[in-house]
Amino acid sequence: MPASRHNLRQMPRADLPGEILPLPYPPRIVAETDDFLVVDKPPFLRIHPSKPDQTDTLWNELRALLSYEIANGGQVSIINRLDRETSGLVLVAKHRAAAKKFSQLMERRGIGKEYLALAFGWPAQDEWSVDAPLLRQGDIRPSKIYLKQCIHPDGAAARTRFRTERRLEKHGAKFSIVRAFPETGRMHQIRIHLAHSGHSVVGDKIYGADETCYLDFIETGWTPALAARLLLSRHALHSCALITAGHEWRTGLPPDLIAWSEPGAAAFGDIGR
C-alpha cells in the first residue's frame, strides 16, 4: 500500500461533558489510495457532528484534509461508524463510486470486522459464540438511558463470535483480552454480548455492572469516583481489523489500553496486527 500523502493533526480536546479530557493519541492514517482512506481513530473523537456548530469530529477533520479532492468532485463518506469511545479502524471513501462499492459490500456483509476488548474475568472457554437478538430497552420496559439496547426475542438478529487472546491479572483481579468477530452490525452488539457472557467490557458506563455510571457521567463528567468504579475513562473496545476480498487492514491494541494492561504491556502491542 503506497504511503499516505496526507497527515491528520492532533485534535487537542474532545467534547466530553464536565471535565474535558484530551485525546490519548492522535488519529493516524493507516492506508490511502485515490479511492479511500483507512484511519485509526482514537477514543473520545466523534465520527460525525452531533450539533450544527460542532467541528472537532473525524468527519470535519477529513473534509479539511481532503479539501482539494472535494473541490474536484470528491466527497467524504465514512463507511463503518464507531462510537465516540471506541477506537480503531475506520474506512472512508473519497468519491461517490467508492462509497457505493463499499456501502454495498457492507450490506452484503462483505467487509469482515474484528475488535479487541479488555473484559472482566477469565472466560471458561477459549472460543464461544453469542446468538442473541437485540432491541432498544425502552421499547419493552422503562429505561433511564434512551439508547441502551438489550437482549430480547423480539429484537433484530445479532451474532458475535469471541476468542480469548490473553488472561491477565491486575491488582489481584482477573481480566482478559478478547477478540470479537461480529457477524451482524447491531448497535452496541459486542458490548452487550460480552456482558451477556459474564465478561463486560472494562470502562463500560452502560453495560457494565452499574448503568448509573453513565447517568453520573452525563451529569458530572469524569470524576475520581467514576474512575474508581469504572477503572478506565472509556470502554475498552478497539476496531483492530477490516477485511474485504481485496484488502486487509490491521492495527494492534492502542497505546491507552496497552498502558492499562501493564505489567507485561509490551506483550500486547502486537495483538491485532
Domain end, chosen from 74, 92, 108, is at 108
| Same domain (yes/no): 131, 244 | yes
Q: Give the tens place of pLDDT for each residue, 179-190.
A: 999 999 999 999
Q: What per-residue confidence (pLDDT) applies to 135?
A: 96
Tell me the longest C-alpha to C-alpha distance in the chain. 57
Work out the number of other CB atoms within 10 angstroms of the CB of residue 2: 8
| Region 32-41 average pLDDT | 96
Does the pLDDT value for residue 95 go beyond 60?
A: yes
Phi/psi zone of residue 18: left (φ > 0), alpha (ψ -120 to 50 degrees), beta?
A: left
| Same domain (yes/no): 130, 188 | yes
| Same domain (yes/no): 167, 95 | no
Q: Give the tens place of pLDDT for each residue, 146-176.
A: 999 999 999 999 999 999 999 999 889 999 9
Domain end, chosen from 38, 73, 108, is at 108
pTM for the model stands at 0.89
Q: Give the tens place of pLDDT for each residue, 117-130.
A: 999 999 999 999 99
Please report which confidence band the pLDDT of residue 6 belongs to, taking 50, 70 and 90 as the band edges.
low
| Same domain (yes/no): 51, 1 | yes
243: containing domain: 110-273
Specify burial of residue 181 (Cβ count, 10 A radius: 0-12, 13-18, 19+): middle
Q: What per-residue confidence (pLDDT) applies to 23?
A: 84
**CA–CA dist 212, 70 (Å, integer):** 43
| Same domain (yes/no): 126, 206 | yes
CATH number, position 61:
3.30.2350.10
| Same domain (yes/no): 141, 269 | yes
> Which has the higher per-residue pLDDT, 171 or 59?
59
Q: How many domains does the chain have?
A: 2
| Region 210-223 average pLDDT | 92
pLDDT exceeding 90 applies to what percent of the chain?
Answer: 77
Q: Which of 53, 56, 83, 270 is flagged as catalytic?
A: 83
Please report which confidence band the pLDDT of residue 24 belongs to, taking 50, 70 and 90 as the band edges.
confident
- Average pLDDT of the chain, as a whole number: 88
| Region 11-24 average pLDDT | 52
pLDDT exceeding 70 applies to what percent of the chain?
Answer: 86
The CA radius of gyration of the chain, in Å to the nearest whole number, is 19
| Same domain (yes/no): 225, 96 | no
Does the pLDDT value for residue 54 go beyond 80?
A: no
Query: Is 83 among the residues known to form the active site?
Result: yes
| Region 92-107 average pLDDT | 95
Residues with Cβ < 8 Å from 242, sequence gap 6 or more?
Answer: 38, 80, 89, 91, 111, 112, 113, 248, 249
Please report which confidence band the pLDDT of residue 229 belongs to, taking 50, 70 and 90 as the band edges.
very high
Domain end, chosen from 51, 74, 108, is at 108
| Same domain (yes/no): 43, 99 | yes
Q: What per-residue confidence (pLDDT) applies to 13?
A: 43
- Cell numbers linked to 11: 485534535
Of 43-47, 104-108, 220-224, 269-273, where does mean pLDDT reach its minimum?
Answer: 269-273
- Cell numbers linked to 236: 475498552
